[in-house]
Structure 1
Amino acid sequence: MRLDASLHRIGNDIVAAYLVTTPEGVTVIDAGLAGHWRELVAELASIGRSVDDIKGVILTHGDSDHVGFAERLRRDHGVPVYVHADDAARAKGGPKPSNAKQSMKLGPLLTFAAYTLRKGGARTTWLTEVVEVQHGATLDLPGSPQIIGMPGHSPGSIAVFVPAVDAVFVGDALTTRHVLTGQEGPQAAPFTDEPAQAMTSLRAIVDTKAKWVLPGHGAPWSSGVEAAVAAVESASRSAH
């Protein structure tokens, strides 16, 4: 799905991953679920590119619905996979803390579970090698992506700012569709390790002034990062 010049999404509002395309090649941000591989190949083909054009994958964090096809790209095509040092073990299948009880509604929960299973979420291939990154790094990849530390959802959660496409990719630092309740609009994401810390971390992306805010779950947001963060903060106040 083409969002803008040089900016594409695969997956849907339940689980999504993104492509930044430039003449130098393609940067993939998050790797969705294993079954998104076919959509990756098809999206690349639709713009005259192939898997061979992918220069790197950046994971916003190490959860299974973001790791998806990353190891396949690394193992079979030699594509490096970048993840924050504090989530490297998680991306390799390491332990994840149990979260507090989540709000949920049966319909959206079943939709999320069914889609995840259909797309191979129960058979995640964890990474065996990663390239560790830190807050403040600018990677030598198409679009010159910048790493912004966003601890809270997980210790090594990051946002990825790509000025070339005026977009900040936020993973689960926020969501625009709560996968367990179906509620739409910018809000805190479920399954967050440290909710208060995640809320504080949101301020780190405001200075990007990006037009696009692109979450791992939910519709793409094109009304600017300041409005998105304000909406999350407002939703959080309303919930308490």
Structure 2
Amino acid sequence: MTAQLLRIGDDIIAIHAIVTDDGVTLIDAGLSGDLGILTAALAGVGRSLDDIRGVVLTHGDTDHIGIAEALRSQHGVPVHILQADAELATGAVPARGVKADAWKVGPLLGFIWTGLRRGAMRTRRPSIVVPMADGDVLDLPGAPEVIAIPGHTKGSAAIRVSAVDALFLGDAITTRHVLTGVEGARLAPFSDDPAQTRRSLERLRALRETRIFPGHGPEFTGRQSTCSMPSTHAAEG
């Protein structure tokens, strides 16, 4: 099986597509205005929205679920998420009210502008999701493996796709803090339980993948001290 990884969007908010001979798997779903950039990116490799076989969400926050419902309702694409975050994604429970750990005016305004420009105020939550569990290997292109890493949210997941040597961490870490602009691997802001996130990340250190993709910030490439990922004593923010 040949597999290709597409990074769609930007370092503020990205969608990732695993493109194989059997179709396409999306890792996270960006913002609700992102169908256009996704369509263009897939067309560039000879694919379309109809080739998408599934969306796999790293967690249920609004900046990760944006086009999931449009793909589900208009193209029949199933939306997968860990059971612990299913109600957050669908809106059955209120959105989290976690406060920012720190911010600077420029990066904060850039994050807000990106959200407004790409439809964050028009989010349609997926009305139906497919629960997944820790250790599942999904029957989707690229055979994504699910690893529960609670902390940022109760149902946060790392998605391992060995076919493209990649590990997708959602908001467990960031490599460019969206509210301060500070670069480098660190815990992401708006976390329910930073101490739990650190413990969860320890599960990933023995994995062999060398391409690490956070939900916000550029790719980290390197052997998995998992990504010089924040150690259990590293500072937040």
User: Where on the TM-score scale, by shorter chain, does this alignment land: which range?
Assistant: over 0.9
Q: Aligned runs of 1:1-240 on 2, under 5 Å? A: 6-93=4-91, 94-228=93-227, 230-233=228-231, 237-238=234-235
Whole-Å Cα distance in 1 between the matches of residues 39 and 224 of structure 2? 30
Whole-Å Cα distance in 1 between the matches of residues 236 and 130 of structure 2? 38
- What letter corresponds to residue 237 of structure 1 in structure 2? A
Whole-Å Cα distance in 2 between the matches of residues 239 and 27 of structure 1? 31
Normalised by the size of structure 1, how large is the TM-score? Answer: 0.93
- 1:239 positional shift: 5.6
- 1:17 positional shift: 1.0
Contact 2:146 2:159 in 1 (8 A): yes
Provide structure 1 residue ranges, at least 5 long, that are not aligned to the other structure: none
Moved more, 208-217 or 218-227: 218-227
CA RMSD of aligned residues (A): 1.7
Whole-Å Cα distance in 1 between the matches of residues 200 and 211 of structure 2? 18
- 1:144 positional shift: 0.6
Contact 1:16 1:216 in 2 (8 A): yes
CA separation of 1:86/1:219 partners in 2, compared to 1, >3 Å: closer, same or farther?
Answer: same
Provide structure 2 residue ranges, at least 5 long, that are not aligned to the other structure: none
Give the match's secondary structure for 2:231. helix
- 1:227 positional shift: 4.8
| Alignment deviations for residues 130-183 of structure 1 (CA, whole Å, 9 cap, x no partner) | 000010000000011100001000000001001111101110011111000001
- What letter corresponds to residue 7 of structure 2 in structure 1? R
| Alignment deviations for residues 202-237 of structure 1 (CA, whole Å, 9 cap, x no partner) | 112222221110111000112233251x34228x63
Normalised by the size of structure 2, how large is the TM-score? Answer: 0.95
Aligned length: 235
- What letter corresponds to residue 128 of structure 1 in structure 2? S
- 1:74 positional shift: 0.2
- What letter corresponds to residue 121 of structure 1 in structure 2? A
- 1:195 positional shift: 0.8
- Give the number of the structure whose residues are more often helix, by fraction: 1
| Alignment deviations for residues 96-139 of structure 1 (CA, whole Å, 9 cap, x no partner) | 33224521111100000011111000110001000000100000
Moved more, 78-87 or 206-215: 206-215
